[in-house]
A and B are shown apart, each in its own frame.
Chain A
Amino acid sequence: MAVKFDLNEREVWDGNYAASQALRQADVDVVVAYPITPSTPIVENYGAYVGNGYINGEFVMVESEHAAMSGCIGASAAGGRVSTATSSQGFALMVEVLYQASGMRLPIVLNVVNRALAAPLNVRGDHADMYLGRDSGWIQMGAFNAQEAYDLALCAFKIAENHSVRLPVMVHQDGFITSHTAQNVYPLTDEKAYGFVGDIVPVDDMLDFSRPVTYGAQTEEDWHFEHKAKQHKAIMDSKGVIDEVFAEFEKLSGRKYSRIETYDMEDADVVLIGLGTTVETARVAAKEIRKEKGIKAGVLAIRCFRPFPLDEVREALEGVKSIGVTDRSSPGGAMGAFYNEVAAAMATSKSRPMVTDYIYGLGGRDLSIENCKQIFIDQQANADAGHITTDLQQFTGLRGPALGFFKTGRS
Protein backbone atom coordinates (compact mmCIF):
# COMPACT_ATOMS: atom_id res chain seq x y z
CA MET A 1 0.00 0.00 0.00
CA ALA A 2 1.20 3.42 -0.90
CA VAL A 3 1.78 5.97 1.86
CA LYS A 4 -0.72 8.83 1.84
CA PHE A 5 0.67 12.14 0.60
CA ASP A 6 -0.76 15.13 2.46
CA LEU A 7 -1.98 17.88 0.16
CA ASN A 8 -3.40 21.31 0.93
CA GLU A 9 -6.21 22.80 -1.08
CA ARG A 10 -3.71 25.42 -2.24
CA GLU A 11 -0.06 24.52 -2.66
CA VAL A 12 2.95 26.62 -3.68
CA TRP A 13 4.56 24.57 -6.42
CA ASP A 14 6.81 25.26 -9.35
CA GLY A 15 6.03 23.71 -12.73
CA ASN A 16 8.38 20.79 -12.21
CA TYR A 17 6.92 19.89 -8.83
CA ALA A 18 3.40 20.27 -10.20
CA ALA A 19 4.14 17.87 -13.07
CA SER A 20 5.74 15.32 -10.72
CA GLN A 21 2.67 15.41 -8.46
CA ALA A 22 0.51 14.63 -11.49
CA LEU A 23 2.70 11.58 -12.18
CA ARG A 24 2.24 10.45 -8.58
CA GLN A 25 -1.51 10.93 -8.64
CA ALA A 26 -1.88 9.18 -12.00
CA ASP A 27 -0.11 6.20 -10.35
CA VAL A 28 2.45 5.96 -13.14
CA ASP A 29 3.88 2.43 -13.26
CA VAL A 30 7.25 3.16 -14.83
CA VAL A 31 9.43 6.24 -15.28
CA VAL A 32 12.61 5.66 -17.29
CA ALA A 33 14.79 8.74 -17.12
CA TYR A 34 18.06 10.46 -17.75
CA PRO A 35 17.79 13.81 -15.98
CA ILE A 36 18.61 17.12 -17.69
CA THR A 37 18.24 20.77 -16.65
CA PRO A 38 15.65 22.24 -16.27
CA SER A 39 13.35 19.18 -16.20
CA THR A 40 15.39 17.17 -13.67
CA PRO A 41 13.12 17.66 -10.63
CA ILE A 42 10.16 15.99 -12.39
CA VAL A 43 11.84 12.60 -12.58
CA GLU A 44 13.85 13.17 -9.41
CA ASN A 45 10.64 13.76 -7.45
CA TYR A 46 9.00 10.69 -8.97
CA GLY A 47 12.02 8.68 -7.84
CA ALA A 48 11.61 10.12 -4.35
CA TYR A 49 7.90 9.21 -4.28
CA VAL A 50 8.85 5.62 -5.17
CA GLY A 51 11.71 5.55 -2.65
CA ASN A 52 9.55 6.94 0.13
CA GLY A 53 6.65 4.60 -0.54
CA TYR A 54 4.18 7.17 -1.86
CA ILE A 55 3.75 5.24 -5.08
CA ASN A 56 4.14 1.64 -6.21
CA GLY A 57 6.14 2.26 -9.33
CA GLU A 58 9.47 1.60 -10.98
CA PHE A 59 12.07 4.31 -11.46
CA VAL A 60 14.67 3.19 -14.00
CA MET A 61 17.87 5.19 -14.40
CA VAL A 62 19.48 4.74 -17.82
CA GLU A 63 22.58 5.99 -19.62
CA SER A 64 21.00 8.48 -22.05
CA GLU A 65 17.74 10.03 -23.17
CA HIS A 66 17.77 7.70 -26.17
CA ALA A 67 17.70 4.82 -23.71
CA ALA A 68 15.15 6.61 -21.52
CA MET A 69 12.56 6.78 -24.28
CA SER A 70 13.50 3.26 -25.41
CA GLY A 71 12.79 2.01 -21.88
CA CYS A 72 9.49 3.88 -21.88
CA ILE A 73 8.56 2.14 -25.12
CA GLY A 74 9.30 -1.26 -23.60
CA ALA A 75 7.28 -0.55 -20.47
CA SER A 76 4.41 0.93 -22.45
CA ALA A 77 4.33 -1.96 -24.93
CA ALA A 78 4.24 -4.27 -21.90
CA GLY A 79 1.01 -2.53 -20.89
CA GLY A 80 2.06 -0.07 -18.17
CA ARG A 81 1.29 3.58 -17.59
CA VAL A 82 4.56 5.27 -18.48
CA SER A 83 6.04 8.74 -18.33
CA THR A 84 9.32 10.63 -18.31
CA ALA A 85 10.66 14.16 -18.67
CA THR A 86 13.38 15.86 -20.69
CA SER A 87 14.65 19.12 -22.19
CA SER A 88 16.80 20.48 -25.00
CA GLN A 89 19.81 18.29 -25.86
CA GLY A 90 18.16 15.38 -24.10
CA PHE A 91 15.06 15.88 -26.18
CA ALA A 92 17.22 16.01 -29.30
CA LEU A 93 18.84 12.70 -28.38
CA MET A 94 15.37 11.26 -27.82
CA VAL A 95 14.03 12.30 -31.21
CA GLU A 96 14.75 9.07 -33.05
CA VAL A 97 12.88 7.11 -30.40
CA LEU A 98 9.98 9.59 -30.27
CA TYR A 99 9.07 8.53 -33.80
CA GLN A 100 9.20 4.88 -32.70
CA ALA A 101 6.81 5.55 -29.81
CA SER A 102 4.21 7.33 -31.95
CA GLY A 103 4.57 4.86 -34.82
CA MET A 104 3.90 1.98 -32.40
CA ARG A 105 0.95 3.96 -30.96
CA LEU A 106 2.21 3.82 -27.38
CA PRO A 107 0.49 6.21 -24.93
CA ILE A 108 3.60 7.57 -23.19
CA VAL A 109 3.43 10.99 -21.52
CA LEU A 110 6.58 13.09 -21.93
CA ASN A 111 6.93 16.23 -19.82
CA VAL A 112 9.09 18.60 -21.84
CA VAL A 113 10.54 21.59 -20.03
CA ASN A 114 11.40 23.73 -23.04
CA ARG A 115 15.02 24.80 -23.36
CA ALA A 116 17.21 26.15 -26.17
CA LEU A 117 19.38 23.88 -28.30
CA ALA A 118 23.15 24.37 -28.47
CA ALA A 119 25.35 25.81 -29.91
CA PRO A 120 26.00 28.06 -28.11
CA LEU A 121 25.21 26.04 -25.01
CA ASN A 122 22.25 27.47 -23.12
CA VAL A 123 20.03 26.13 -20.34
CA ARG A 124 17.22 28.71 -20.57
CA GLY A 125 13.82 28.38 -22.11
CA ASP A 126 12.99 28.71 -25.76
CA HIS A 127 10.95 26.48 -28.03
CA ALA A 128 13.71 24.93 -30.16
CA ASP A 129 13.21 21.49 -28.58
CA MET A 130 9.42 21.67 -28.89
CA TYR A 131 9.72 22.55 -32.60
CA LEU A 132 12.13 19.66 -33.09
CA GLY A 133 9.31 17.31 -32.08
CA ARG A 134 6.62 18.86 -34.20
CA ASP A 135 6.62 16.20 -36.95
CA SER A 136 7.18 13.29 -34.57
CA GLY A 137 3.53 12.23 -34.44
CA TRP A 138 3.11 13.11 -30.75
CA ILE A 139 0.24 15.20 -29.45
CA GLN A 140 1.85 18.39 -28.09
CA MET A 141 0.16 20.55 -25.47
CA GLY A 142 1.51 23.74 -23.96
CA ALA A 143 1.21 24.81 -20.31
CA PHE A 144 1.64 28.51 -19.62
CA ASN A 145 2.13 28.23 -15.83
CA ALA A 146 2.58 25.67 -13.03
CA GLN A 147 -1.13 25.02 -12.54
CA GLU A 148 -1.49 24.18 -16.20
CA ALA A 149 1.58 21.94 -16.14
CA TYR A 150 -0.20 19.92 -13.45
CA ASP A 151 -3.64 19.97 -15.07
CA LEU A 152 -2.42 19.10 -18.56
CA ALA A 153 -0.22 16.25 -17.31
CA LEU A 154 -3.33 14.61 -15.81
CA CYS A 155 -5.30 15.25 -19.01
CA ALA A 156 -2.41 13.89 -21.09
CA PHE A 157 -2.70 10.35 -19.68
CA LYS A 158 -6.43 10.29 -20.27
CA ILE A 159 -6.02 11.50 -23.86
CA ALA A 160 -3.07 9.26 -24.71
CA GLU A 161 -4.60 6.09 -23.30
CA ASN A 162 -8.02 6.59 -24.89
CA HIS A 163 -8.48 3.63 -27.23
CA SER A 164 -9.50 5.79 -30.15
CA VAL A 165 -6.31 7.87 -29.69
CA ARG A 166 -3.48 5.60 -28.44
CA LEU A 167 -0.81 8.20 -29.16
CA PRO A 168 1.98 9.59 -26.99
CA VAL A 169 1.52 13.08 -25.60
CA MET A 170 4.03 15.81 -24.72
CA VAL A 171 3.17 18.41 -22.13
CA HIS A 172 5.39 21.45 -22.62
CA GLN A 173 6.27 24.13 -20.08
CA ASP A 174 8.85 26.89 -20.41
CA GLY A 175 12.23 26.25 -18.80
CA PHE A 176 12.75 28.15 -15.51
CA ILE A 177 9.97 30.71 -16.06
CA THR A 178 7.40 27.97 -15.48
CA SER A 179 9.50 25.06 -14.27
CA HIS A 180 11.28 26.90 -11.45
CA THR A 181 8.83 29.67 -10.50
CA ALA A 182 6.79 28.77 -7.43
CA GLN A 183 3.18 29.73 -7.87
CA ASN A 184 -0.19 28.96 -6.32
CA VAL A 185 -1.40 25.60 -7.57
CA TYR A 186 -4.73 24.05 -6.65
CA PRO A 187 -4.30 20.28 -6.86
CA LEU A 188 -7.11 17.75 -7.00
CA THR A 189 -7.31 15.22 -4.19
CA ASP A 190 -5.56 11.93 -4.97
CA GLU A 191 -8.95 10.19 -5.25
CA LYS A 192 -10.38 12.79 -7.62
CA ALA A 193 -7.23 12.90 -9.75
CA TYR A 194 -6.97 9.12 -10.12
CA GLY A 195 -10.72 8.83 -10.63
CA PHE A 196 -10.37 11.27 -13.52
CA VAL A 197 -7.40 9.56 -15.18
CA GLY A 198 -8.72 6.04 -14.48
CA ASP A 199 -7.02 2.67 -14.90
CA ILE A 200 -5.00 2.09 -18.03
CA VAL A 201 -6.63 -0.50 -20.29
CA PRO A 202 -3.76 -1.94 -22.33
CA VAL A 203 -3.92 -2.61 -26.07
CA ASP A 204 -1.72 -5.26 -27.73
CA ASP A 205 0.25 -5.56 -24.47
CA MET A 206 3.28 -7.77 -24.69
CA LEU A 207 2.58 -9.34 -21.28
CA ASP A 208 -0.59 -10.92 -22.68
CA PHE A 209 0.81 -14.39 -23.33
CA SER A 210 -2.44 -15.59 -24.87
CA ARG A 211 -1.82 -13.19 -27.77
CA PRO A 212 1.87 -12.71 -28.53
CA VAL A 213 2.55 -9.73 -30.79
CA THR A 214 5.42 -8.26 -32.77
CA TYR A 215 6.29 -4.61 -32.15
CA GLY A 216 8.60 -2.75 -34.52
CA ALA A 217 7.85 -4.59 -37.75
CA GLN A 218 9.66 -3.52 -40.91
CA THR A 219 7.53 -2.06 -43.70
CA GLU A 220 8.95 -1.01 -47.06
CA GLU A 221 7.31 0.89 -49.91
CA ASP A 222 4.48 -1.64 -50.08
CA TRP A 223 3.22 -1.00 -46.51
CA HIS A 224 4.91 2.02 -44.88
CA PHE A 225 2.73 4.70 -46.47
CA GLU A 226 -0.51 3.09 -45.29
CA HIS A 227 0.77 2.79 -41.72
CA LYS A 228 1.94 6.42 -41.59
CA ALA A 229 -1.35 7.65 -43.10
CA LYS A 230 -3.32 5.70 -40.48
CA GLN A 231 -1.13 7.22 -37.75
CA HIS A 232 -1.62 10.74 -39.14
CA LYS A 233 -5.38 10.22 -39.23
CA ALA A 234 -5.29 9.11 -35.60
CA ILE A 235 -3.62 12.34 -34.46
CA MET A 236 -5.93 14.44 -36.63
CA ASP A 237 -8.94 12.64 -35.12
CA SER A 238 -7.65 13.01 -31.55
CA LYS A 239 -9.02 16.55 -31.28
CA GLY A 240 -12.49 15.23 -30.41
CA VAL A 241 -11.12 13.24 -27.49
CA ILE A 242 -8.95 16.17 -26.37
CA ASP A 243 -12.06 18.38 -26.28
CA GLU A 244 -13.99 15.72 -24.32
CA VAL A 245 -11.20 15.29 -21.78
CA PHE A 246 -10.89 19.06 -21.33
CA ALA A 247 -14.69 19.29 -20.80
CA GLU A 248 -14.60 16.51 -18.21
CA PHE A 249 -11.66 18.17 -16.47
CA GLU A 250 -13.56 21.46 -16.30
CA LYS A 251 -16.48 19.74 -14.57
CA LEU A 252 -14.09 18.29 -12.02
CA SER A 253 -11.82 21.28 -11.39
CA GLY A 254 -13.62 24.37 -12.68
CA ARG A 255 -10.60 25.08 -14.88
CA LYS A 256 -11.44 25.34 -18.57
CA TYR A 257 -9.00 24.43 -21.34
CA SER A 258 -9.39 24.67 -25.11
CA ARG A 259 -7.12 23.71 -28.00
CA ILE A 260 -6.87 27.43 -28.68
CA GLU A 261 -7.30 30.07 -25.98
CA THR A 262 -8.53 33.58 -26.81
CA TYR A 263 -8.20 36.77 -24.77
CA ASP A 264 -9.81 40.11 -25.64
CA MET A 265 -10.64 38.75 -29.09
CA GLU A 266 -14.31 39.76 -29.26
CA ASP A 267 -13.66 43.10 -31.03
CA ALA A 268 -9.94 42.72 -31.85
CA ASP A 269 -8.46 44.31 -34.98
CA VAL A 270 -4.89 43.24 -34.29
CA VAL A 271 -3.75 40.01 -32.68
CA LEU A 272 -0.62 38.56 -31.14
CA ILE A 273 -0.37 34.76 -31.35
CA GLY A 274 1.88 32.92 -28.99
CA LEU A 275 2.30 30.02 -26.67
CA GLY A 276 4.01 29.30 -23.38
CA THR A 277 4.75 32.00 -20.82
CA THR A 278 4.63 34.61 -23.61
CA VAL A 279 0.85 34.43 -23.48
CA GLU A 280 0.51 35.94 -20.02
CA THR A 281 2.84 38.81 -20.95
CA ALA A 282 0.93 39.44 -24.18
CA ARG A 283 -2.39 39.51 -22.32
CA VAL A 284 -1.11 42.29 -20.05
CA ALA A 285 0.28 44.18 -23.07
CA ALA A 286 -3.04 43.90 -24.94
CA LYS A 287 -4.98 45.36 -22.01
CA GLU A 288 -2.48 48.22 -21.57
CA ILE A 289 -2.26 49.13 -25.28
CA ARG A 290 -6.06 49.24 -25.47
CA LYS A 291 -6.03 51.87 -22.68
CA GLU A 292 -2.96 53.78 -23.86
CA LYS A 293 -3.52 53.96 -27.61
CA GLY A 294 -7.04 52.71 -28.19
CA ILE A 295 -5.68 49.81 -30.27
CA LYS A 296 -8.15 46.93 -30.29
CA ALA A 297 -5.61 44.31 -29.36
CA GLY A 298 -6.30 40.64 -28.71
CA VAL A 299 -4.27 37.54 -27.91
CA LEU A 300 -4.67 34.06 -29.32
CA ALA A 301 -2.76 31.24 -27.62
CA ILE A 302 -2.11 27.79 -28.98
CA ARG A 303 -2.79 25.24 -26.24
CA CYS A 304 -2.58 22.26 -28.57
CA PHE A 305 0.40 22.63 -30.94
CA ARG A 306 -0.19 19.15 -32.40
CA PRO A 307 -2.67 18.32 -33.81
CA PHE A 308 -2.50 21.91 -35.06
CA PRO A 309 -5.93 23.57 -34.65
CA LEU A 310 -5.93 25.04 -38.15
CA ASP A 311 -9.71 25.33 -38.53
CA GLU A 312 -10.09 26.83 -35.04
CA VAL A 313 -7.31 29.37 -35.66
CA ARG A 314 -8.91 30.43 -38.95
CA GLU A 315 -12.33 30.73 -37.35
CA ALA A 316 -11.05 32.73 -34.37
CA LEU A 317 -9.12 35.15 -36.59
CA GLU A 318 -11.70 35.60 -39.33
CA GLY A 319 -12.31 39.32 -39.70
CA VAL A 320 -9.26 40.62 -37.80
CA LYS A 321 -6.98 42.96 -39.74
CA SER A 322 -3.38 42.13 -38.90
CA ILE A 323 -1.72 39.30 -37.00
CA GLY A 324 1.73 39.06 -35.40
CA VAL A 325 2.84 35.47 -34.90
CA THR A 326 5.62 34.88 -32.37
CA ASP A 327 8.16 32.11 -32.96
CA ARG A 328 10.53 31.30 -30.09
CA SER A 329 12.90 29.14 -32.14
CA SER A 330 15.62 30.05 -34.58
CA PRO A 331 14.02 29.31 -37.96
CA GLY A 332 17.23 28.29 -39.73
CA GLY A 333 16.62 29.85 -43.13
CA ALA A 334 12.84 30.12 -43.38
CA MET A 335 9.87 31.81 -41.80
CA GLY A 336 9.05 30.51 -38.32
CA ALA A 337 7.18 27.21 -38.33
CA PHE A 338 4.36 28.61 -36.23
CA TYR A 339 4.01 31.54 -38.66
CA ASN A 340 3.77 29.13 -41.58
CA GLU A 341 0.89 27.30 -39.96
CA VAL A 342 -1.07 30.40 -39.01
CA ALA A 343 -0.40 31.92 -42.45
CA ALA A 344 -1.70 28.73 -44.09
CA ALA A 345 -4.87 28.93 -42.01
CA MET A 346 -5.40 32.59 -42.90
CA ALA A 347 -4.68 32.08 -46.62
CA THR A 348 -7.84 29.97 -46.70
CA SER A 349 -9.95 32.44 -44.71
CA LYS A 350 -12.56 34.74 -46.22
CA SER A 351 -10.98 37.95 -44.92
CA ARG A 352 -7.32 36.93 -45.44
CA PRO A 353 -5.79 39.22 -42.77
CA MET A 354 -2.14 40.21 -42.92
CA VAL A 355 0.26 37.94 -41.02
CA THR A 356 3.82 38.75 -39.96
CA ASP A 357 6.39 36.81 -37.98
CA TYR A 358 8.41 37.77 -34.90
CA ILE A 359 11.41 35.73 -33.82
CA TYR A 360 11.92 36.38 -30.10
CA GLY A 361 13.15 35.11 -26.77
CA LEU A 362 15.89 32.76 -27.99
CA GLY A 363 17.94 31.22 -25.21
CA GLY A 364 15.53 32.54 -22.58
CA ARG A 365 15.75 36.24 -23.59
CA ASP A 366 12.83 37.89 -21.81
CA LEU A 367 9.95 39.14 -23.93
CA SER A 368 8.81 42.33 -22.21
CA ILE A 369 5.40 43.92 -22.14
CA GLU A 370 6.95 46.74 -24.21
CA ASN A 371 8.08 44.22 -26.87
CA CYS A 372 4.53 42.91 -27.10
CA LYS A 373 3.09 46.42 -27.31
CA GLN A 374 5.41 47.17 -30.25
CA ILE A 375 4.05 44.09 -32.02
CA PHE A 376 0.51 45.44 -31.57
CA ILE A 377 1.64 48.90 -32.78
CA ASP A 378 3.20 47.30 -35.91
CA GLN A 379 -0.01 45.44 -36.61
CA GLN A 380 -2.11 48.57 -36.16
CA ALA A 381 0.17 50.36 -38.67
CA ASN A 382 -0.47 47.50 -41.13
CA ALA A 383 -4.20 47.74 -40.51
CA ASP A 384 -4.18 51.52 -41.06
CA ALA A 385 -2.05 51.28 -44.24
CA GLY A 386 -3.97 48.33 -45.64
CA HIS A 387 -0.74 46.45 -46.33
CA ILE A 388 2.19 45.02 -44.41
CA THR A 389 4.51 47.90 -43.56
CA THR A 390 7.42 45.85 -42.20
CA ASP A 391 9.50 42.91 -43.29
CA LEU A 392 7.51 39.68 -43.03
CA GLN A 393 9.97 38.36 -40.48
CA GLN A 394 11.36 40.59 -37.74
CA PHE A 395 13.37 40.01 -34.60
CA THR A 396 12.18 41.47 -31.35
CA GLY A 397 14.35 42.04 -28.28
CA LEU A 398 17.53 41.62 -30.35
CA ARG A 399 20.57 43.92 -29.92
CA GLY A 400 22.24 45.47 -32.97
CA PRO A 401 20.80 46.85 -36.22
CA ALA A 402 17.20 45.86 -36.99
CA LEU A 403 17.10 42.46 -38.68
CA GLY A 404 14.30 41.47 -41.03
CA PHE A 405 13.61 39.20 -44.01
CA PHE A 406 11.07 38.77 -46.83
CA LYS A 407 8.62 41.37 -48.18
CA THR A 408 4.91 41.19 -48.81
CA GLY A 409 3.67 41.00 -52.42
CA ARG A 410 0.26 42.46 -51.56
CA SER A 411 1.04 46.17 -51.03
Chain B
Amino acid sequence: MQDLNLLANDNRGQSQLEAGFDLMGWDEVTQGSVLPSFDGDATGIANKKAEERSYSGFNSYTASVASWRVQKPVFNRDICIDCQNCWVWCPDSSILSRDKQMLGIDYDHCKGCEVCVEVCPTNPKSLLMFNEHADLEESLASWPEKKKKEKKSKEA
Protein backbone atom coordinates (compact mmCIF):
# COMPACT_ATOMS: atom_id res chain seq x y z
CA MET B 1 0.00 0.00 0.00
CA GLN B 2 1.22 3.47 -0.87
CA ASP B 3 2.57 5.83 1.78
CA LEU B 4 0.46 9.02 1.54
CA ASN B 5 3.59 11.13 1.99
CA LEU B 6 5.54 9.27 -0.68
CA LEU B 7 8.47 11.40 -1.90
CA ALA B 8 7.12 14.45 -0.07
CA ASN B 9 9.49 16.98 1.44
CA ASP B 10 8.73 18.86 4.65
CA ASN B 11 6.30 21.36 3.18
CA ARG B 12 4.48 19.52 0.39
CA GLY B 13 0.73 20.11 0.62
CA GLN B 14 0.99 21.74 4.04
CA SER B 15 -1.14 24.83 3.46
CA GLN B 16 -4.84 24.88 2.55
CA LEU B 17 -5.74 27.36 -0.17
CA GLU B 18 -9.22 27.94 1.19
CA ALA B 19 -8.18 28.54 4.77
CA GLY B 20 -7.72 32.12 5.96
CA PHE B 21 -4.07 31.66 6.86
CA ASP B 22 -1.83 34.69 7.39
CA LEU B 23 -3.60 36.94 4.89
CA MET B 24 -1.36 39.94 4.20
CA GLY B 25 -2.40 43.59 3.85
CA TRP B 26 -2.03 45.61 0.66
CA ASP B 27 1.31 46.92 1.91
CA GLU B 28 2.75 43.42 2.18
CA VAL B 29 1.64 41.64 -0.99
CA THR B 30 4.22 41.18 -3.75
CA GLN B 31 4.60 43.82 -6.48
CA GLY B 32 2.55 42.93 -9.54
CA SER B 33 1.41 39.68 -7.85
CA VAL B 34 4.70 38.22 -9.09
CA LEU B 35 5.48 35.13 -7.04
CA PRO B 36 8.93 33.57 -6.56
CA SER B 37 8.78 29.78 -6.82
CA PHE B 38 11.68 28.97 -4.49
CA ASP B 39 13.30 30.31 -1.36
CA GLY B 40 16.91 31.36 -1.88
CA ASP B 41 19.13 30.87 -4.91
CA ALA B 42 17.49 28.40 -7.28
CA THR B 43 20.40 28.03 -9.72
CA GLY B 44 20.45 24.48 -11.10
CA ILE B 45 17.27 23.53 -9.26
CA ALA B 46 15.94 21.79 -12.37
CA ASN B 47 18.49 19.05 -11.67
CA LYS B 48 17.16 18.44 -8.17
CA LYS B 49 14.32 16.10 -7.32
CA ALA B 50 11.10 17.72 -6.08
CA GLU B 51 11.58 16.51 -2.51
CA GLU B 52 15.03 18.18 -2.44
CA ARG B 53 13.85 21.59 -3.67
CA SER B 54 13.25 24.66 -1.48
CA TYR B 55 9.75 25.46 -2.74
CA SER B 56 8.48 28.81 -1.46
CA GLY B 57 5.19 29.33 0.32
CA PHE B 58 3.87 30.83 -2.95
CA ASN B 59 4.43 27.60 -4.84
CA SER B 60 1.42 25.32 -5.13
CA TYR B 61 3.76 22.45 -4.23
CA THR B 62 3.46 23.60 -0.63
CA ALA B 63 -0.34 23.77 -0.77
CA SER B 64 -2.93 21.03 -0.84
CA VAL B 65 -4.92 21.63 -3.98
CA ALA B 66 -6.88 18.39 -3.92
CA SER B 67 -9.80 19.25 -1.67
CA TRP B 68 -12.34 19.10 -4.50
CA ARG B 69 -11.34 15.56 -5.54
CA VAL B 70 -14.29 13.18 -5.16
CA GLN B 71 -12.68 10.08 -6.65
CA LYS B 72 -9.04 9.14 -6.34
CA PRO B 73 -6.81 6.87 -8.39
CA VAL B 74 -5.35 3.91 -6.52
CA PHE B 75 -2.11 2.36 -7.77
CA ASN B 76 -1.56 -1.40 -7.87
CA ARG B 77 2.17 -2.18 -7.88
CA ASP B 78 1.61 -5.88 -8.62
CA ILE B 79 0.20 -5.27 -12.10
CA CYS B 80 2.10 -2.15 -13.24
CA ILE B 81 4.63 -2.63 -16.05
CA ASP B 82 6.35 0.79 -15.51
CA CYS B 83 5.51 1.98 -18.98
CA GLN B 84 5.32 5.61 -17.67
CA ASN B 85 2.23 6.35 -19.72
CA CYS B 86 0.43 7.79 -16.68
CA TRP B 87 3.47 9.94 -15.82
CA VAL B 88 3.49 11.39 -19.33
CA TRP B 89 -0.23 12.13 -19.40
CA CYS B 90 -0.92 13.37 -15.86
CA PRO B 91 -1.80 17.10 -16.22
CA ASP B 92 -0.78 17.91 -12.65
CA SER B 93 2.59 16.15 -12.29
CA SER B 94 1.00 13.95 -9.65
CA ILE B 95 2.44 10.61 -10.77
CA LEU B 96 5.47 9.88 -8.59
CA SER B 97 8.15 7.99 -10.45
CA ARG B 98 11.89 7.55 -10.00
CA ASP B 99 14.37 5.85 -12.33
CA LYS B 100 11.48 5.02 -14.64
CA GLN B 101 9.78 3.08 -11.91
CA MET B 102 6.20 4.04 -11.04
CA LEU B 103 5.90 4.56 -7.27
CA GLY B 104 2.46 6.06 -6.62
CA ILE B 105 0.27 9.16 -6.52
CA ASP B 106 0.87 12.63 -5.08
CA TYR B 107 -2.47 12.94 -3.28
CA ASP B 108 -1.77 16.58 -2.35
CA HIS B 109 -2.01 17.62 -5.99
CA CYS B 110 -4.01 14.93 -7.84
CA LYS B 111 -7.44 16.33 -8.83
CA GLY B 112 -8.94 12.93 -9.64
CA CYS B 113 -9.29 13.54 -13.38
CA GLU B 114 -8.87 9.84 -14.23
CA VAL B 115 -6.54 10.44 -17.17
CA CYS B 116 -3.95 8.06 -15.65
CA VAL B 117 -6.56 5.28 -15.48
CA GLU B 118 -7.65 5.95 -19.03
CA VAL B 119 -4.12 5.66 -20.46
CA CYS B 120 -3.01 2.65 -18.35
CA PRO B 121 -2.48 -0.24 -20.83
CA THR B 122 -2.38 -3.23 -18.46
CA ASN B 123 -5.07 -5.85 -17.99
CA PRO B 124 -6.53 -5.34 -15.46
CA LYS B 125 -5.50 -1.68 -15.14
CA SER B 126 -2.81 -0.82 -12.58
CA LEU B 127 -4.65 2.39 -11.69
CA LEU B 128 -8.36 2.46 -10.86
CA MET B 129 -10.65 5.12 -9.44
CA PHE B 130 -12.16 4.64 -5.97
CA ASN B 131 -14.26 6.86 -3.76
CA GLU B 132 -12.09 9.55 -2.14
CA HIS B 133 -12.75 8.07 1.31
CA ALA B 134 -12.16 4.46 0.33
CA ASP B 135 -9.47 2.61 2.31
CA LEU B 136 -6.41 1.92 0.16
CA GLU B 137 -5.97 -1.67 1.40
CA GLU B 138 -9.63 -2.50 0.83
CA SER B 139 -9.42 -0.94 -2.62
CA LEU B 140 -6.46 -3.10 -3.55
CA ALA B 141 -8.23 -6.19 -2.16
CA SER B 142 -11.21 -5.54 -4.42
CA TRP B 143 -9.09 -5.27 -7.58
CA PRO B 144 -10.79 -6.93 -10.58
CA GLU B 145 -9.48 -10.05 -12.33
CA LYS B 146 -7.84 -10.05 -15.72
CA LYS B 147 -10.44 -9.73 -18.45
CA LYS B 148 -10.48 -12.57 -20.91
CA LYS B 149 -10.74 -11.83 -24.57
CA GLU B 150 -14.24 -12.38 -25.83
CA LYS B 151 -14.40 -14.93 -28.61
CA LYS B 152 -15.54 -13.44 -31.82
CA SER B 153 -18.67 -15.16 -33.02
CA LYS B 154 -18.56 -16.26 -36.61
CA GLU B 155 -22.09 -15.03 -37.23
CA ALA B 156 -21.25 -11.40 -36.37
Binding site for B on A (CB under 8 A): 103-106, 166, 203-204, 209-217, 219, 222-223, 225-227, 229-231, 233-234
Contacts and interface: CB of A to CB of B under 8 A. Distances in A.
B99 to A, nearest CB: 25
Given A222-B20, A226-B24, A230-B27, A106 B41 contact: no
Nearest to B38: A212
B33 interface: yes
20 contacts: A104-B33, A106-B32, A204-B31, A204-B32, A204-B36, A209-B42, A210-B43, A211-B36, A211-B38, A212-B36, A212-B37, A212-B42, A213-B36, A214-B34, A214-B36, A215-B32, A222-B20, A222-B23, A223-B23, A231-B32
A203 B29 CA distance: 16
Contact of A219 (B20, B27, B33, B45): B33
B26 interface: yes
A105 B32 contact: yes
A315 B43 CA distance: 53
Given A104-B33, A210-B43, 17 more contacts: A105-B32, A105-B34, A204-B36, A209-B42, A211-B36, A211-B41, A211-B42, A212-B42, A213-B37, A214-B34, A214-B37, A216-B33, A217-B34, A226-B24, A230-B26, A233-B26, A234-B31
Interface residues of B, number: 20
B2 to A, nearest CB: 30
Nearest to A210: B43
Q: Which of A104, A210, A233 has the most CB of B within 10 A?
A: A210
B33 to A, nearest CB: 5
Which 4 residue pairs across A and B have the least CB separation, nearest first?
Answer: A105-B32, A229-B26, A226-B26, A214-B35
Interface string B58-91: 1000000000000000000000000000000000
A166 B36 contact: no
A226 B31 contact: no
Contacts of A214: 34-37, 58
Contacts of B144: none
Contact of B41 (A210, A229, A231): A210
A215 B58 CA distance: 12
Interface of B: 20, 23-27, 29, 31-38, 41-43, 45, 58
Given A214-B58, A230-B26, A103 B42 contact: no
Q: Which of B33, B35, B42 has the most CB of A within 10 A?
A: B33
B53 to A, nearest CB: 11
A213 B37 CA distance: 6
Contacts of A233: 26
Contacts of B23: 222-223
Nearest to B18: A222
Contacts of B29: 223, 226-227, 230
Given A209-B42, A212-B42, A222-B23, A227 B36 contact: no
A105 B42 contact: no
Contacts of A203: 31
Contacts of B24: 226
A217 B35 contact: yes
A104 to B, nearest CB: 4
A102 B25 CA distance: 20
Given A211-B36, A214-B58, A230 B31 contact: yes
A217 B36 contact: no
Contacts of A229: 26
Given A222-B23, A226-B24, A104 B42 contact: no
